[in-house]
Amino acid sequence: MLQTLVSGLESGSWFALLGLAIVVVMKAADVPNFAMADIGLVATYVGISLAGAGVPFWLAVVTTLVTGILLGVVIDVALMRRLAKYGHFPLLLMTIGLSLALTALTGLVWGHDPRSFRAPWTGAAIEVGGGVAIGVSQIVSIVVGLLGAVAISAFFTTPVGAQMRAVAENRATARLVGVNAGRLSAIAWGVGGLIAAVTVMLQAQSALVSTLTPASLIIYGFVAATMGGFTSLFGTFAGGLVLGIIQQLVGTYISTAAQFSVALLVVFLVLVLRPDGFTKGMRLRDV
């Protein structure tokens, strides 16, 4: 039971982080980014290759993060920005096309075999008594996930973060006030790429990743983002964790085949019952 819970929290942390990456881009750039997990995968594969070539672990990690940021910014500046004035549909389609191309490109360059990003602690475990052991990499995922969520929340209270919240609330008025929406969107894509790189890297240091990873990860990321109403950071994070635990419980006690359907059901229920995210009411009461 404890093992199930920890595994749920671990995968939940990945979902939560990717959901946060989606929300950041949605807030500032008003695009649902279907290529988010692919960006993370490409960045992680770059890191894995470097580590495999003998580059020190932490340097490989930093390179992965930088790759994620650069990918995000370049995509925004080169592809997305000029489409913004044509409405939602081309933007949505562009991220889908990008996702297809990036996944395939990854397969072409690195192949389709699953890989892992070996960290110094990979394989180590902590005995918690009763014969139950928890992997260090699981703890790393959960702790980094938590820190990431705190960091993103802190980011949104900085002046740039406040500008993003303003853009999210009313893009037109924000521009009237002098907010440079193009610059904000590039920053958001960079931050999104960074978080996506962290997410896939966390998964790779604990389990295996392959070109199949983005397809499911992105759906779970969107489920988490939906649970936060695409705006609430707390709702997205909590949503991701809850989803991870539900998935793990369904997988353990019902069947792994049902996991995906359960996730879809969650999206539908949230959107129908609480289109603004399931923490919306709570937040209002706090105020």
Compare residues 54 and 178 and give the one whose CB is closer to other proteins.
178
Compare residues 101 and 147 and give the one whose CB is closer to other proteins.
101
Q: Which residues bind other proteins (CB under 8 A)?
A: 26, 32, 79, 82-83, 86-90, 92-94, 96-105, 107-108, 159, 162-163, 165-166, 168-170, 172-181, 215, 219, 222-223, 226, 230, 257, 260-261, 264-265, 267-268, 271-272, 275, 287
Rounded CA separation 207/46 (Å): 17
The count of C-alpha atoms lying within 13 angstroms of the C-alpha of 218, restricted to the half-sphere facing its C-beta, is 21
Compare residues 57 and 155 and give the one whose CB is closer to other proteins.
155
Compare residues 206 and 226 and give the one whose CB is closer to other proteins.
226
Structure tokens at 167: 């853009």
Q: How far is the CB of 73 from other proteins (least distance, A)?
A: 17
Q: What are the angstrom distances between the C-alpha of 8 and each of 1, 141, 232, 252, 286?
A: 10, 11, 22, 10, 28
Compare residues 1 and 176 and give the one whose CB is closer to other proteins.
176
Compare residues 1 and 287 and give the one whose CB is closer to other proteins.
287
Torsion 158-235-261-258 (CA) sign: positive
Q: How far is the CB of 222 from other proteins (least distance, A)?
A: 6
Q: How far is the CB of 278 from other proteins (least distance, A)?
A: 14
Compare residues 1 and 272 and give the one whose CB is closer to other proteins.
272
Rounded CA separation 229/22 (Å): 11
Q: How far is the CB of 130 from other proteins (least distance, A)?
A: 36
Q: How far is the CB of 103 from other proteins (least distance, A)?
A: 7
Rounded CA separation 146/140 (Å): 10
Closest CA to 145 of 98, 99, 206, 102: 206
Evaluate whether 203 touches 39 at the Cβ level (below 8 Å): no
Evaluate whether 197 touches 37 at the Cβ level (below 8 Å): no
Q: Does an H or E element contain 195, and which?
A: helix 181-206
Q: How far is the CB of 88 from other proteins (least distance, A)?
A: 6
Please report, as a single letter, which amino acid is at residue 156. Answer: F
Please report, as a single letter, which amino acid is at residue 93. Answer: L
Q: How far is the CB of 159 from other proteins (least distance, A)?
A: 6
